[in-house]
Structure 1
Amino acid sequence: MLYALQPYLKYFAVLGLVPWTERSFQQMLQKIYTTAIILFNIGVAFYIVVYSPPEGDLLVSLLVSCIVFISQIVTMTVIELQVMCQYDRYYEFCLQLKCLRRQFQCELLQQVQRLPWTRYIKYFLLGALNIASVVPGVYVILHYDYIGYFWYSLAAVIINRFQCLLLLLYAELLGFHVELLGLRLKDVHNCRQLGVHSVLDVKCEQMCSLDYLLSLKRAYMELYRLFGQYNGLYGWSIVCIFVVMFLDSMINIYWALLVLAKIYNFVFIYMTFSTFVPLLILLFTFCRCGEYCKRQHMLIGSHVRGLACTSQRQLEPSSQAYTAVLAEFAMQVEQDALIISAEGFMDIDYSLLMSIFTAMVTYLIVLMQFGSL
């Protein structure tokens, strides 16, 4: 499924976010191109911060603006380096996802369709929103002669946001396959509860077999491996993206409050709102994807435990091996959770979102107190 999207995703190579091709020579050229992007942005950041910082602003605003600017450059650098050093692992991730799809079709006898078109529209709208959110900032700068760090961080902002979109798409694909596995386990559970009453019920008999259970167990193992590959490929990118999105949205909310307090011109409200609103939407969407995977994993665990209870009530001698495999499967589901994790620092779910909102309120109060001194 991810291979099918490659003709479209490869254009993100312009930003250095995906490999353009599997050919080694062209990958080397792309690495040189990505290195040039990194060095250029770091050089601009060093010159602006050290030799030509913006003037004529509140001290607290200058400080937090500089912090956000540096964090955006650092995040962009981490993203580019992590992608650039793992081209082969990226294609391995794509191939593993393709093999998992074939496993669903061949072993589990389940037709795996493409993602619903509504989900593609969602990501298209998120991309359009990220592009459109830059327009108010450009308008304010061109008409009110205010530059700040906007132009110098624009490339880093675009790279960070579109990397977040790609990570959301990959997480959506993982969650889609977790959902498919959960539906298949639900069907097996229903068949075991109803029982095979007829010789003609061949499909139900096959789904209740030990071989089919082993196929389900292998599919879960492959899914767990895919989640591990995803977390390994993009763990540090996720950490940095969440940090910079937290900082950027919080600081722009702070500036919006200063505008409402009439410390800055009211026109800057367009710039602040067009920054923190898309960031909060991306934060919510990312945490929602992680929460969806977590809940689907919990459903898989409930189906496996239900299968174990149903199997224990059956008295056939052949059910002993089935029950033993189910017990092992249940232990595997309990220990190997299908979660999106950022290098062990945090799990991506709704609890993280609430922690972010709580921290935002706390630091906004601190900033407002410093700003009033």
Structure 2
Amino acid sequence: MLYALQRYLKYFAILGLVPWSEKEPQQRLQRIYTIVIIFLNIGVAFYIVFFASPEGDLLVSMLVSCTVFISQIVTMSGVYQSQPYIVELQVMCQHKRYYEFCLQLKCLRLRFQCELQQPVKDWPLTRYVKYFVLGIINFVSLFPSVYVVLHFDYIGYFWFSLGAVFINRVQCLLLLLYADLLGYHVELLDQRLQAVHSYRMLGAQSQLNVKFEQMCSLEYLLSLKRAYMELYRLFELYNSLFGWSIVCIFVVMFLDSIVNIYWSLLVLTEIYSFVFIYMTCSTFLPLLILLFTFCRCGEYCKRQHMLIGSHVRGLACAAQCQAIPPTLAYNAVLAEFAMQVEQDALIISAEGFMDIDYSLLMSIFTAMVTYLIVLMQFGSLYT
């Protein structure tokens, strides 16, 4: 499915976020292009720090503005070490692993269709509409800021950080797309396990059904177990491919949201002109939507994993209660499957720093309130 979308996603190579081609010469050219983008933004940051630092604003506002600007540039450009390639560098250095991720998704889809006989339909239209709407919201939300900067006396880093803001938001949308594809396949596996569980629960009645022998066979259970193993490997590959990008994008969205909510409060207290409310609201509202959508996607994968675990445990209980119990080999594979589901969770994790779910969202909102109170207290000292 991701291979089918690749013909559209490859155009994001203009931003350095997706490999354009599987061929090594073209990938080498794209790496050079990505390095040029990185050094261009580093040069802009160097120019701002030493030659064009804005003046005349509140001290606290200048401090938080500078912090957000630097975090956006660093997140987009990356800090090259042994592991943490951030956004651009993480994508650039792992083109081959990206195609490995696409290939494994394709193989998993074939396993569902052939071994599990689960018809894998195209992605639902509602999910395409969701990402189209999210893209439009994040693109259109830049226009109020552009209007304010062009028509009013604005002091800040907007023009210098515009490229980094756009790249970070587009990368976040792409990460959401990949995570949603993983969640879709977890849902398919859950449906297969639910069907097997239903046959087992019916017991003797379902034995008259021609599909009972196939669905409750040892070979089918092994196919389910292999599908789960491949899904777990896909989650691990996703977390290793984009872990540092997720960490840094969440940090930037967290900082940017706090700062713009803080400036909105300053506008409401008439420290800044009311026109700046359009700029601040059009910045933090799309970011909060992205944060919520990402955490919702991670929570969906987590809950589907819990459902899979409940179906596997239900299969074990049904096997013990049946009049004709399964073979010892079936019970052994089922016990191993239950242990595998318990130990190898299908969770989107950002390099072990945090799991992406609703609990993270509540932690973010709690931290926002805390830091906003601190900012308001410090800001009152200089007004």
Secondary structure at the residue paired with 1:262? coil
1:210 aligns with 2:208: no
Cα distance in 1, alignment partners of residues 194 and 110 from structure 2: 20
1:167 equivalent in structure 2: 175
Shift of 1:317: 6.2
Secondary structure at the residue paired with 2:211? helix
1:239 equivalent in structure 2: 247
Indicate if the aligned counterparts of 1:49 and 1:66 stay in contact, CA closer than 8 A.
Answer: no
Q: Which deviates further from its counterpart, 296-305 or 146-155?
A: 146-155
1:119 aligns with 2:119: no
2:82 equivalent in structure 1: none
Shift of 1:56: 0.9
* Amino acid of the structure 2 residue aligned with 1:126: L
2:37 equivalent in structure 1: 37
Indicate if the aligned counterparts of 2:319 and 2:326 stay in contact, CA closer than 8 A.
Answer: no
4+ residue runs of structure 1 moved beyond 4 angstroms? 196-200
Shift of 1:331: 0.4
Matches within 5 A, 1:78-157: 78-157=86-165
2:25 equivalent in structure 1: 25
Cα distance in 2, alignment partners of residues 335 and 372 from structure 1: 50
Shift of 1:49: 1.7
Residues 76-105 of structure 1, C-alpha deviations (whole Å, 9 max, x = no match) = 012000000000000000000000000000
Cα distance in 1, alignment partners of residues 50 and 257 from structure 2: 25
1:274 aligns with 2:271: no
Shift of 1:319: 2.8
Shift of 1:146: 1.6
Indicate if the aligned counterparts of 2:243 and 2:350 stay in contact, CA closer than 8 A.
Answer: yes
Cα distance in 1, alignment partners of residues 280 and 375 from structure 2: 16
Indicate if the aligned counterparts of 2:21 and 2:27 stay in contact, CA closer than 8 A.
Answer: yes
* Amino acid of the structure 2 residue aligned with 1:173: L
Cα distance in 2, alignment partners of residues 198 and 100 from structure 1: 28
Cα distance in 1, alignment partners of residues 63 and 325 from structure 2: 73
Cα distance in 2, alignment partners of residues 198 and 55 from structure 1: 77
Q: Which deviates further from its counterpart, 310-319 or 159-168?
A: 310-319
Shift of 1:197: 4.3
Cα distance in 2, alignment partners of residues 183 and 199 from structure 1: 20
Residues 199-257 of structure 1, C-alpha deviations (whole Å, 9 max, x = no match) = 76222220011110010000000000000000000000000000000000010000000
* Amino acid of the structure 1 residue aligned with 2:218: L
Matches within 5 A, 1:282-361: 282-314=290-322, 316=324, 318-361=326-369
2:54 equivalent in structure 1: 54
Secondary structure at the residue paired with 1:358? helix
2:67 equivalent in structure 1: 67
Residues 305-347 of structure 1, C-alpha deviations (whole Å, 9 max, x = no match) = 0000011123546432211111110000000000000000000
Indicate if the aligned counterparts of 1:196 and 1:205 stay in contact, CA closer than 8 A.
Answer: no
Q: Which deviates further from its counterpart, 320-329 or 235-244?
A: 320-329
Q: Which deviates further from its counterpart, 102-111 or 200-209?
A: 200-209
1:365 equivalent in structure 2: 373
Residues 54-80 of structure 1, C-alpha deviations (whole Å, 9 max, x = no match) = 111000000000000000001101200
Cα distance in 1, alignment partners of residues 207 and 222 from structure 2: 23
Q: Percent identity?
A: 78
Shift of 1:148: 1.0
2:2 equivalent in structure 1: 2
TM-score (ref. length: structure 2): 0.96
1:182 aligns with 2:190: yes
Cα distance in 2, alignment partners of residues 116 and 258 from structure 1: 43
Task: List gaps (5 residues or longer) in structure 1.
Answer: none
2:81 equivalent in structure 1: none
Measured at CA, do residues 279 and 317 of structure 1 come closer, stay the same or move farther in structure 2, by a change above 3 Å? closer
> What value does the CA root-mean-square deviation take over the aligned residues?
1.1
TM-score (ref. length: structure 1): 0.98
* Amino acid of the structure 2 residue aligned with 1:51: F
Instruction: Give the aligned length.
Output: 373
* Amino acid of the structure 2 residue aligned with 1:9: L
Shift of 1:46: 1.4
